[in-house]
């Protein structure tokens, strides 16, 4: 057996298989796990890890309430177990033992030797784990020939006391399995945190993170093998599958046990103390939890100020995240092709560019739907973009349909002025055209609205909000420009036409309309929106930040009044720390506007 053979060798070979699972695809995910076990064996890996809930995909949401969903996972685990000869495999799945648990199966040399349960269940932001899971009452340490291995699941790594308790048992290596959603800030915070945990306790770690996208959530991977001194010896790629293999010297990995400073302290009640650590041996035998009441002193803040590390470019990261988000949403839902309404503006241009990077130019179709209010440059810019991207392109002028609608309403509307009705009608005709093409040819419609527009309701429900996926719905308008410029730099040419980037934004739904007629400059708007939406600030607090009071109140009212539109919006791919959707659950009926 591999682990025994290597006991006397100078290193332990550890791997994180950051795989792209699909929620509910138990058979497909299991095939992928087995494939990576074979690959890892060929690479002489001794400890192989898979992401959190790898067998069912993360997050499975209410599938977990279906009568057989959990037991079906156990059947898949039974397929995996016999294939693990010669190595230790840790794989995430949901289990039921009385209650349901978010768990990690620990399989050693063909036998299931134990199951670790997740203790800290996130129930904030996009997470609802307390809806589904009971809290694990103990931490699990596995005493193996090759090393003493502690297994933690995602959130448990974030809690310093939990890691401290685990480390205090003298583990050589912490296996952390995770499904940690991407946001532009999160990925660097996570890396700093993991390295800090290793340094704090002089313990090695393999951190295995899911990659792929599931509805609104994007997972970036970037798994790591980290030494007890916080050095990353191997790191997974971002936004794609990877078998991340790292060797840690045997002497180094065993140093942790000796170096850890033990100190008497109290343990917060929500975190299992050292007495709750259960030790499991490689034969599957379990030591009774040992009673004691000491723990480690963890005083230093694991977060460095953000300015210190700029390892990842947030604009590049966000762009690549959206490419993965589009690809996975389209393909995992059984589509091959996407259709996008091209207005000549920057939002649809960026959306189309992302779609081409995700699906290939043969699988993206651009549709221009000019109206009586569309400028010539809009039509030109849309055609130019399509040519630059090499995508199929058609024009469907909406004038005849629009005119027919106006005649239908002629008597009814005769005593009223033209207003938002006629503007929305144009947007809805365009939505109908895109949906008709979707129905006839099986294209998925991609919505093109950005976060700033969605926030203030500067978008038409059932019009430009049509589509299965709002690609840039979590990208503020100021970032839209950044991402467009980033992509052009990468291309070394104006893939997105310069005129599209430079011209003042307009919905072109009435004569000479400009965004600037209704909204402040986008940097001001995005500043207010960030404080109100991402930070939950009150109007007074936003004014204290230096924004105009009347403007702030006006923007806040727009945001609040548009809640009903967002409730019916397409799924928004999440790239910031607070996206519209499951991250932000406001009532539609609401009279609080402070």
Q: Which of 280, 401, 525, 572 forms a contact with a copy of itself (CB under 8 A)?
A: 401
Q: Which of 199, 361, 432, 577 forms a contact with a copy of itself (CB under 8 A)?
A: 432
Q: How far is the CB of 460 from a copy of itself (least distance, A)?
A: 9
DSSP-derived pairing of the beta strands 338-341 and 286-287: unpaired
Q: Is 52 a catalytic residue?
A: yes
Distance CA 107, CA 84 (A): 7
Using the rule CB under 8 A, is 537 a contact of a copy of itself?
A: yes
266: CB partners within 8 A, 6+ apart: 293, 295
The structure tokens listed for 112 are 């299931």
Q: How far is the CB of 387 from a copy of itself (least distance, A)?
A: 20
Q: Write down the catalytic residue from 52, 129, 155, 189.
A: 52
Q: Which of 123-131, 142-150, 231-239, 493-501 is the region at the interface with a copy of itself (rule: CB under 8 A)?
A: 123-131
Q: Which of 82-90, 108-116, 431-439, 475-483 is the region at the interface with a copy of itself (rule: CB under 8 A)?
A: 431-439
Q: Do 367 and 353 form a contact (C-beta atoms < 8 A)?
A: no
Footprint on residues 468-487 left by a copy of itself (CB under 8 A): 468
Q: Distance of alpha carbon 442 from its chain centroid, rounded?
A: 27
Q: Is 154 a catalytic residue?
A: yes
Using the rule CB under 8 A, is 128 a contact of a copy of itself?
A: yes
- Per-residue exposure over 326-335, b if at least 16 CB sit within 10 Å of its own CB, e if not: bbbbbbbeeb
Distance CA 14, CA 245 (A): 6
Instruction: Print the binding letters for residues 50-69 with a copy of itself: x by CB under 8 A, - otherwise.
Output: ------x--xxxxx-xxxxx
Q: Which of 34, 112, 435, 551 forms a contact with a copy of itself (CB under 8 A)?
A: 435
511: helix, strand or coil: coil
Using the rule CB under 8 A, is 396 a contact of a copy of itself?
A: yes
For 546, other C-beta atoms within 10 Å of its C-beta total 7
Q: Write down the catalytic residue from 56, 129, 154, 189.
A: 154
Q: How far is the CB of 467 from a copy of itself (least distance, A)?
A: 9
Q: Which of 199-207, 277-285, 307-315, 412-420 is the region at the interface with a copy of itself (rule: CB under 8 A)?
A: 412-420
Using the rule CB under 8 A, is 433 a contact of a copy of itself?
A: yes
Beta bridge partner(s), residue 178:
209
Q: How far is the CB of 215 from a copy of itself (least distance, A)?
A: 5
Q: How far is the CB of 564 from a copy of itself (least distance, A)?
A: 6
Q: What is the DSSP letter of 334?
A: T
Q: Is 130 a catalytic residue?
A: no
C-alpha distances (whole Å) from 517 to each of 236, 271, 503 are: 47, 54, 15
Footprint on residues 315-334 left by a copy of itself (CB under 8 A): 328-329, 332-333
For the chain, what is the radius of gyration of the CA atoms? 27
Q: 41 or 125: whose CB is closer to a copy of itself?
A: 125
Q: Which of 8, 42, 98, 124 forms a contact with a copy of itself (CB under 8 A)?
A: 124
Q: How far is the CB of 592 from a copy of itself (least distance, A)?
A: 3
Q: 293 or 419: whose CB is closer to a copy of itself?
A: 419
> What is the C-alpha end-to-end distance of the chain, expressed in Å?
65
Q: Do 6 and 51 form a contact (C-beta atoms < 8 A)?
A: no
Using the rule CB under 8 A, is 442 a contact of a copy of itself?
A: no
Q: Is 519 exposed, middle or buried (0-12, 13-18, 19+ CB in 10 A)?
A: buried
Dihedral angle over CA of 32, 128, 15, 308, nearest 10: 130
Q: Active-site positions?
A: 52, 118, 154
């Amino acid at each position: 057996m591999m682990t025994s053979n290597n006991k006397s060798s100078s290193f332990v070979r550890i791997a994180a298989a950051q795989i792209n699972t699909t929620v509910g695809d138990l058979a497909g995910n299991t095939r992928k796990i087995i494939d990576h076990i074979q690959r890892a064996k060929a690479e002489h890996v001794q400890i192989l890890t898979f992401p959190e809930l790898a067998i069912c995909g993360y997050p499975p949401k209410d599938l977990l309430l279906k009568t057989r969903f959990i037991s079906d996972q156990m059947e898949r685990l039974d397929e995996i177990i016999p294939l693990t000869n010669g190595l230790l495999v840790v794989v995430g799945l949901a289990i039921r033992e009385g209650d349901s648990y978010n768990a990690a199966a620990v399989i050693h040399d063909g036998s299931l030797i134990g199951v670790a349960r997740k203790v800290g269940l996130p129930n904030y932001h996009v997470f609802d784990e307390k809806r589904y899971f009971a809290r694990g009452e103990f931490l699990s340490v596995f005493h193996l020939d090759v090393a003493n291995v502690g297994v933690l699941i995602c959130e448990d790594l974030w809690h310093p006391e939990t890691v401290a308790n685990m480390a205090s048992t003298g583990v050589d290596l912490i296996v952390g399995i995770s499904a940690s959603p991407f946001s532009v800030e999160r990925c660097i915070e996570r890396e700093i945190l993991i390295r800090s945990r290793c340094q704090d306790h002089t313990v090695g770690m393999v951190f295995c993170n899911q990659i792929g996208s599931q509805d609104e959530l994007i997972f970036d991977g970037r798994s790591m093998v980290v030494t007890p001194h916080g050095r990353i010896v191997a790191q997974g790629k971002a936004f794609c599958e990877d078998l991340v293999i790292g060797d840690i010297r045997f002497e180094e990995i065993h140093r942790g046990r000796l170096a850890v400073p033990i100190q008497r302290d109290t343990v917060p009640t929500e975190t299992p103390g050292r007495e709750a650590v259960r030790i499991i041996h490689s034969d599957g035998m379990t030591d009774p939890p040992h009673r004691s009441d000491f723990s480690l002193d963890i005083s230093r803040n694991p977060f460095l100020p953000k300015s210190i590390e700029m390892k990842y470019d947030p604009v590049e990261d966000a762009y690549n995240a959206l490419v993965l988000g589009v690809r996975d949403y389209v393909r995992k839902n059984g589509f091959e092709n996407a259709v996008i309404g091209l207005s000549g503006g920057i939002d649809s241009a960026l959306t189309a560019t992302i779609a081409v990077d995700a699906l290939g130019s043969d699988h993206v179709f651009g549709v221009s739907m000019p109206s009586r209010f569309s400028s010539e440059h809009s039509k030109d810019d849309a055609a130019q973009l399509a040519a630059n991207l090499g995508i199929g392109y058609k024009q469907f002028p909406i004038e005849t349909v629009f005119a027919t609608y106006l005649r239908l309403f002629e008597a009814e509307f005769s005593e009223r002025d033209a207003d938002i009705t006629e503007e929305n009608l144009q947007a809805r005709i365009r939505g109908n055209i895109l949906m008709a093409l979707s129905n006839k040819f099986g294209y998925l419609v991609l919505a093109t609205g950005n976060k700033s527009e969605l926030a203030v309701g500067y978008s038409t429900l059932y019009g430009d909000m049509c589509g299965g996926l709002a690609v840039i719905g979590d990208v503020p308008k100021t970032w839209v420009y950044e991402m467009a410029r980033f992509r052009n730099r990468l291309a070394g040419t104006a893939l997105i036409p310069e005129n599209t980037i430079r011209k003042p934004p307009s919905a072109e739904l009435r004569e000479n309309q400009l965004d600037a007629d209704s909204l402040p400059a986008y940097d001001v708007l995005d500043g207010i929106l960030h404080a109100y939406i991402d930070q939950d600030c009150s109007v007074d607090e936003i004014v204290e930040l230096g924004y105009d009071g009347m403007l702030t109140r006006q923007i806040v009212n727009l945001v609040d009044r548009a809640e009903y539109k967002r409730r019916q919006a397409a799924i928004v791919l999440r790239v910031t720390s607070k996206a519209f959707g499951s991250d932000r659950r406001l009532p539609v009926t609401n009279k609080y506007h402070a």
